[in-house]
Chains A and B, each alone.
Chain A
Amino acid sequence: MKNIDSISHVTGRSLYVDDIPVRTGTLYGVVFPSPTAHGRIIRLDTSGAEALDGVAAVLTASDIPGKNQIGGIVPDEPLFAEEKVVFNGQPLALVVARDEHTARKALRHIRAEIEEMEAVTDAREAHQRGMLLVPPSTFRMGEVETAWDQCEHIVEGSTESGGQEHLYIETQGSYAYMMENGHLKIRSSTQGPTHVQKAASGVLGVPMHRVEVDVTRLGGGFGGKEDQATAYACMAALAAQKLNRPVKVILHRMDDMRMTGKRHPYSADFKIGLNKELKIIAYKATFYQNGGAAADLSPAILDRSLFHSTNSYFIPNTEVTAYSCRTHLPPNTAFRGFGGPQGMFIMESAIAKAAHQLKVPARVIQQKNFLRENDRFQYGQVARNVNIGKCFRLMDKTWQMEKIAEEVARFNVKNETEKKGLAIMPVCFGISFTNRSMNQARALVHIYQDGSVGISTAAIEMGQGVNTKLLQVAAQTLSISAERVKVETTNTTRVSNTSPTAASSGADLNGKATEIACNQLINRLRKTAAGILKADWKQISLKDEWVLVEGRRSKLTWEELVKTAHLDRVCLSEQGHYATPLVHFDRETARGEPFAYHAYGTAALVARVDCIRGNYSFDKVLIVHDFGNSMNIDIDMGQVEGALAQGMGWMTMEEVSYDAKGRLLSNSLSTYKVPDIYSVPADLQCIPLPARGPKAAILRSKAVGEPPLMYGIGAYFAIQNAIMAFNPDYEPDFNAPMTAEKVLMRLYA
């Protein structure tokens, strides 16, 4: 089934926040950002802007009737800076005017006097100064300190991985307006409507039931709108309440890039020990996460870096400590993979360095250490239905890794100005929110008296196709045609207390809730049918819009059945509630079973480096991915392809760059480059691993949003191998992204 939005997308009829027809009297808000990364606010004079024709108001912290606080996990993030500023771009005020142009011009008339203080932008420096967002976390298994004795080879090193701008093509935005009796409606481009609702209710000083959040769809999210859509929704809400006028706040791209957080940069030290047989015996590492100026989701992201710190390998003795460091950068936030990619990059760097020193290909070490059935993860969970070895073997059988390696070597002998490099990237990614309470969802399913169906859930459609999957679940469970089903907007008055659509879990959680609701409705309808057909309800089933008695088609159609049930006063609406069974995790002991299941896959990447100019391209990427039983292979393949490109971008050309004072230099699309159509692999092949999916996955179709992103990590090592083929003096270093600049400097180092 194609994405149900396809037609409206290609004809330009799909609606996003900025496309909603505006109400009469709508005003436009533009944020006045801090020009300084760290400092004391001496004076903020907005009178010049307020006096301008067309400006309705300039709102600051003092205009907030409730709490000036929007922090999700830790209450450490004001909506508008008060007394001090802690990052360049931090909102100080909102100019509200009759149009965006007027509001933007008014920014020039605001005077902010800020006593500048020293800014810390580096995670290690922040750590040294004791600037931490939360206490550090450590995951341990076995006895690392005594295990070094069993190691034949011990390799140490350090790594850096850079930030990543989400670059959802639709920027952050919200449209808020008052309904009657102090009821406020917010149309927001958010992955977390409940977070918006809760934060707005706190800022406005009203109960949550006064704030309704409605989301049609997002023009991309990637984690960037999980927590960070909230500020702009609250600003629109505040202005709407204050001025009793509809207010729209849509960020200009450069404001969005400057004000919002990104993927966390990580700095790390590692020590890895292998025995004679190249089994990894011990791994010790310290991660320094650059969290930015407020906690945001950093603590949870830090945890996931630890969960995935050994990637797809079983290492009997591990000890990994992670620090979430507070710096004067915009609060870094969720981004597809949620800390997992950073942890895996460090692991793969350690293997690459060991491989280089031992003069063996990294793939040899990788293969020898793959997780096996019943191995224990370093957080105590026992690995079940482990598919990493199966993925690699199928990849090897299909494309023959040694043959590719030989082709690459032959090419490198023949060619002086171009070199190729091969890298293998295995991925093992845990599925579930690691915060237990978030693993729940509800779905509200209405069957209308004409037999058509409407579904409301907590899921946010942001391109990942979750609405299509929900529609499939409903149509399949009710055994009716897909045309009868409509997926409604996501609205906090229909489905409340929602978890954000994140952690690849949107389809699983909301799909399961939908399935539960549909099954309850089916059972009710079976009883009605039993009455009509004078049969036992257990003999009744529904199939392709017909009622069956003991498997034989009766005269009763879906439409007739529904109509009769309604007249018979049967409830045709149902709410399904789903909570993922079993998952739990104790942060104190760092032990538990946090994941419902794991997703697996392996990729082989071949890079081609131009040794004259230092730029590069990718000849091919070959993937075996474990989808379980994919319920929609079109959509799932799209997730693999898109995530791969994003992961490769993170590792290659996407370079977030701040100056020493915390000012973003890569602040536009002309200075921050994401892959275009020529940057992605010319030849990308992905085959699904034939495997039965787990029960915890919706229709046994595994979560797919995040795992394939990490195949992109292989891009770094493929380029690195090509560089080594040209410059034998180059000692591999681990400092992502591998930009064209870094490549050239290393070719001639």
Chain B
Amino acid sequence: MIRFILNDKEVGTTLKPGTTLLDFIRYHEHLTGTKIGCREGDCGACTVLEGRLTGGRIEYRTIVSCLTPLGNAAGKHIVTVEGISGDSLNPAQQAMVDHNGTQCGFCTPGFVVSLTCHSMQNSPSAPQKAIDAVSGNICRCTGYQSIRQAAITLSDVLKEKDPDNPIGWLVSQAYLPPWFVGIPERLSAMNDQSAAIPSSGTMIGGGTDLMVQKPDDMAEAEPVLLFDREDLKGVNRKDDRCVIGAAATATDIMHSPVMRLNFPRLEEYFFLVSSEPIRNMGTLGGNICNASPIADLVIFFLALNSELLLADNKTGEKKTVPLEDFFQGYKQLNKKDHEIVASLSFPLPGKNTAFNFEKVSKRNTLDIASVNGAMMIRTEEGVIREARVSAGGVAPIPLFLRETSRFLTGRPLNARTLREASKILDQEITPISDIRGSKNYKRLLARQLFYAHFLKLFPDLFRLKDLTDQMPDE
């Protein structure tokens, strides 16, 4: 039995844990405000709130219910548009009405839920943050100008919010129904996870890949749910390394103090990784084990000399594998079926070390990369002491560019080195033509993103034309 609180009501179901939360909401609970747009997390029409208790406090995040295995809702508070609609409109709803942010209305509940979630956060609002809250919502009618205005107005209203008690404030203003206040107590009183956890079967984290790839199979499956495993969570510093649990989500990583401290541009990079609800769901372990050749997080961590800790589900034995050796061929992993990725760790960047991540896709945001790439580089007095370069979308696996990295190491940091390195890079990659671009494009783009690392990290040293113009001696 999977039990959770849906809006103000405790629900229990014996449906398979691989059923989508969306189908449960719409066709079993008959809450039709949550819409079906794409069933692959790319439109946001099915966005709902997931509230969970952490340290006695409740935190709400947006998730797409179409990719959420019902089992992942266990012990949580799930809120649909019906749940946030009281007798009067909340500020998100009012702003959408006032600015004409709704036309056909089909995507609207998703936008409203996303904006309401923004209202419920324990941090002050800002116009751009309110706009970013709808990064996972697609509208085909409005052209977004009115929605952007609504988000800005909302942010203005939220200046009044008490950031220490946003829910309390929203309830006191009659913006949320009063029962919201009692939810933390009800959740902690709930006997969550009463179902036995199966030890074998398909392993699933946030569902953002598996639920897209085989939803019909998953609907009948008894998957091993990893998303809420406390032992697999956390982003922590351990001596000179950073250790990230496999069930940490992209959002967890993005918000972690240790990552933010070491990667000042972290938000900029993660802004390119999917959308807010998908980042709230997608786990590091899932991104690694799905083994997509353009996995953003994998490309990111390949450049950081990461290693994986694998745990044997049967024997409990543990071992480490360098991330760059984990991918053996297209979707082939260097791991046994009963081994799970428990965590990833990497040495924190030291002095004189710089890092950059790049990604280009057809749409700049909420899209899968045509090519992505990352680089970590340590320089001293104009010489490259260490370089690690990775690229995605250019091989059957997320690629650590071993030869290119080796070539760079020890060489002077100048345009000639980079131009020569780009030739090695070109030999190291084997892109194919597909929906994300022709192979010639991907070759050119891989080179450009390689140059982009240097143009961004060393703006005073390089000019674009010095790198890309044909030189007479070449």
Residues of A bordering B, CB below 8 Å: 2-3, 5-16, 18-19, 21, 101, 104-105, 166-171, 217-222, 250, 252-253, 416-417, 462-465, 611-615, 617, 634-635, 637-638, 641-646, 653, 655, 657, 665-666, 668-671, 673-680, 684, 739-741, 744-745, 748
Q: Which 8 A-B pairs have the closest CB atoms?
A: A12-B33, A463-B104, A219-B106, A9-B105, A645-B143, A12-B81, A463-B103, A669-B42
Contact B104 A105 (CB under 8 A): no
Q: B61: shortest Cβ distance to chain A, in Å? A: 19
With A217-B105, A417-B464 as contacts: A668 and B42 at CB distance below 8 Å: yes
Residue B43 CB within 8 A of the other chain: yes
Residues of A within 8 A of B30 (CB): 21
CB-based nearest B residue for A612? B452
A614 CA to B366 CA in the complex, in Å? 17
Give the docked Cα–Cα distance between A464 and B142 (Å): 10
In the assembled complex, 28 residue pairs joining A and B whose CB atoms fall closer than 8 Å, in A order, are A10-B89, A10-B108, A10-B112, A11-B33, A11-B81, A18-B26, A101-B216, A169-B104, A169-B107, A169-B138, A219-B104, A253-B40, A417-B464, A611-B464, A613-B358, A635-B100, A638-B142, A642-B141, A642-B143, A655-B362, A657-B435, A668-B38, A671-B436, A676-B138, A677-B131, A741-B441, A745-B440, A748-B444
Given known contacts A463-B103, A612-B451, is B363 in contact with A677 (CB within 8 Å)?
Answer: no
Instruction: Provide the bound-state CA to CA distance between A416 and B219, in Å.
Output: 53
**Given that A21-B30, A253-B37, A613-B360 are known contacts, is A3 also in contact with B452, CB under 8 Å in the complex?**
no
* In the bound complex, CA of A168 to CA of B35 (Å): 13
- B463-A745 in contact (CB<8A): no
Cα of A679 to Cα of B26 in the assembled complex, Å: 31
A32-B414 Cα distance, complex, nearest whole Å: 59
Shortest beta-carbon distance from B351 to chain A in Å: 28
B105, A463: Cβ atoms under 8 Å? yes
Nearest-neighbour CB distance to chain B for A482, whole angstroms, equals: 15
Q: B76 interface residue, CB < 8 Å from A?
A: no
B358: nearest chain-A partner, CB-CB: A613
- Say whether B140 faces chain A, with CB atoms less than 8 Å apart: yes
Stretch at the interface among B145-153, B158-166, B193-201, B387-395: B145-153
In the bound complex, how far is the Cα of B103 from the Cα of A219, in angstroms? 9
Which chain B residue has the least Cβ–Cβ distance from A99? B27
User: B68-103: which residues lie under 8 A (CB-CB) from chain A?
Assistant: 80-82, 85, 89, 93, 96-98, 100, 102-103
Interface size on B, residues (CB 8 A): 80
The answer to whether A219 and B102 touch across the interface, beta carbons within 8 angstroms, is no
**B140 lies within 8 A of A167 (CB):** yes
Interface pair B43/A169, CB less than 8 Å apart:
yes
Closest A-chain residue to B441, C-beta based?
A741
Complex contacts, B141 vs chain A, CB 8 Å: 220, 463, 638, 642
For chain B, residues 410 to 455, give those with C-beta under 8 angstroms from any C-beta of chain A.
434-438, 440-441, 444-445, 448-449, 451-452, 455
* A463 (CB) vs chain B CBs: closest residue: B104
A617 touching B100, Cβ below 8 Å: no
Interface centre among A105, A638, A644 (most CB of B within 10 A): A638
Residues on A with C-beta less than 8 A from B361 are: 673, 740
Is the pair A641, B370 in contact by a Cβ cutoff of 8 Å?
no
Q: Which A residues are in CB contact (< 8 Å) with B370?
A: 740-741
Q: Which residues of B contact A464 (CB under 8 A)?
A: 103
Question: Which residues, 251 to 301 on B, are CB-close (under 8 Å) to A?
Answer: none
Check B465–A665 contact: CB distance below 8 A.
no
Interface string of B321-362 (1 = CB under 8 A from A): 000000000000000000000000000000000000010111
- CB closest chain-A residue, reference B105: A9
> Which residue of chain B is the closest to A742 with respect to CB atoms?
B441
Known: A13-B33, A665-B435. A679 touches B103 (CB 8 A): no
Q: With A and B bound together, what is the CA distance between A346 and B228 in angstroms?
A: 56
Contact B103 A417 (CB under 8 A): no
Q: Find chain A residues with CB under 8 A from B35 CB.
A: 16, 169-170, 219
Q: A170-B37, A670-B42, A741-B441 are in contact. List 10 more A-B contacts (CB 8 A).
A: A2-B98, A10-B89, A10-B96, A12-B34, A12-B85, A21-B30, A645-B144, A677-B148, A680-B144, A684-B143
B108 CB to closest chain A CB (Å) equals 4
Judge whether A19 and B32 touch: CB under 8 Å: yes
Q: Is the interface of A mostly helix, strand, loop or mixed?
A: loop
Q: Is the CB of B364 within 8 A of A617?
A: yes
Docked complex Cα distance between A637 and B149 (Å): 13
Taking the closest CB of chain A, its distance from the CB of B274, in whole angstroms, is 10
In the bound complex, residues from chain A placing their C-beta under 8 Å from that of B40 are 253, 668-670
**Provided the pairs A253-B39, A641-B142 are in contact, do residues A170 and B106 lie with their beta carbons within 8 angstroms?**
yes
- A171 to B97: give the CA distance in the assembly, Å: 24
CA separation between A289 and B444, bound complex, in Å? 33
Q: Quick one: which of B93, B140, B144, B463 contacts A169, CB cutoff 8 A?
A: B140
In the complex, chain A residues whose CB is within 8 Å of the CB of B366: 676
* Interface check B367, CB cutoff 8 A: yes
Alpha-carbon gap, A11 to B134, bound state (A): 17
Please give the distance in Å from A315's CB to the nearest CB on chain B: 32
Pairwise interchain contact A676-B363, C-beta atoms closer than 8 A: yes
Instruction: Decide if B120 is an interface residue (CB 8 Å cutoff).
Output: no
Chain B positions near chain A (C-beta within 8 angstroms):
26, 30, 32-40, 42-43, 45, 80-82, 85, 89, 93, 96-98, 100, 102-109, 112, 131, 134-135, 137-148, 212, 216, 219, 358, 360-368, 370, 434-438, 440-441, 444-445, 448-449, 451-452, 455, 463-465, 468
Q: Could you tell me the distance between the alpha carbons of A59 and B261 in the complex, rounded to whole angstroms?
A: 62
* Cα separation A122 to B28 with both chains bound (whole Å): 46
Give the Cβ gap from B445 to chain A, nearest Cβ, in Å. Answer: 6
Closest to B136 in A: A676
Q: B444 and A745: CB pair below 8 A? A: yes
Chain A residues whose C-beta falls within 8 Å of the C-beta of B434 in the assembled complex: 665
- The complex places the Cα of A59 from the Cα of B468 at a distance, in Å, of 60
* Interchain nearest-CB distance for A686 vs B (Å): 9
A3 near B145: Cβ-Cβ < 8 Å: no
CB of B102, distance to nearest CB on chain A (Å): 4
Q: How far is the CA of A669 from the CA of B107 in the complex (A)?
A: 14
Q: How far is the CB of B15 from chain A (nearest CB, A)?
A: 11
* Residues of A close to B103: CB separation below 8 A: 3, 463-465, 638, 642
Q: When the two chains form their complex, are residues A9 and B45 in contact, meaning their CB atoms are under 8 A apart?
A: no
Say whether, besides A5-B105, A21-B30, A169-B43, A638 and B146 are in contact (CB < 8 Å). Answer: yes
CA distance A416 to B455 in the complex (A): 11
| A644→B143 contact, CB < 8 A | yes
- Closest beta carbon of chain B to A468's beta carbon, Å: 11
Q: Given A612-B452, A638-B142 in contact, is the A8-B105 Cβ separation under 8 Å? A: yes
Q: Is the CB of B360 within 8 A of A740?
A: yes
Q: Are B142 and A673 in contact (CB under 8 A)?
A: no
CB–CB B140/A673 < 8 A: no
Task: Write the chain B residue with the least CB distance to A9.
Answer: B105
Which residues of B sit under 8 angstroms from A18, Cβ to Cβ? 26, 32, 36
CA distance A171 to B40 in the complex (A): 14
Q: Which residues of B contact A2 (CB under 8 A)?
A: 97-98, 100
A739→B362 contact, CB < 8 A:
yes
A655 to B361, CA, bound (A): 13
Give the distance to chain A from B82, nearest Cβ to Cβ, in Å.
Answer: 6
Closest to B95 in A: A10
A613 lies within 8 A of B452 (CB):
yes
Which of A9, A16, A612, A617 counts the most chain B CB atoms within 10 A? A9
Chain B residue at minimal CB-CB distance from A107:
B216
Contacting residue for B362 out of A7, A253, A673, A677, CB 8 A: A673
Cross-chain contact B39 with A105 (CB below 8 angstroms):
no
**Residues on B with beta carbons closer than 8 Å to the beta carbon of A416:** 463-465
**Complex contact A741–B437 (CB within 8 A):** yes
Give chain A residues whose Cβ lies under 8 Å from the Cβ of B360.
613-615, 740
Q: Are B104 and A669 in contact (CB under 8 A)?
A: no
Given contacts A253-B39, A665-B435, contact A612 B144 (CB under 8 A): no
B105 in contact with A642 (CB, 8 Å): no
Q: Is the CB of A678 within 8 A of B364?
A: yes
Cβ contacts under 8 Å, B451 to chain A: 612
Known: A10-B89, A744-B444. A3 touches B100 (CB 8 A): yes
Residues of chain A within 8 A (CB-CB) of B104 are 168-170, 217-221, 462-463
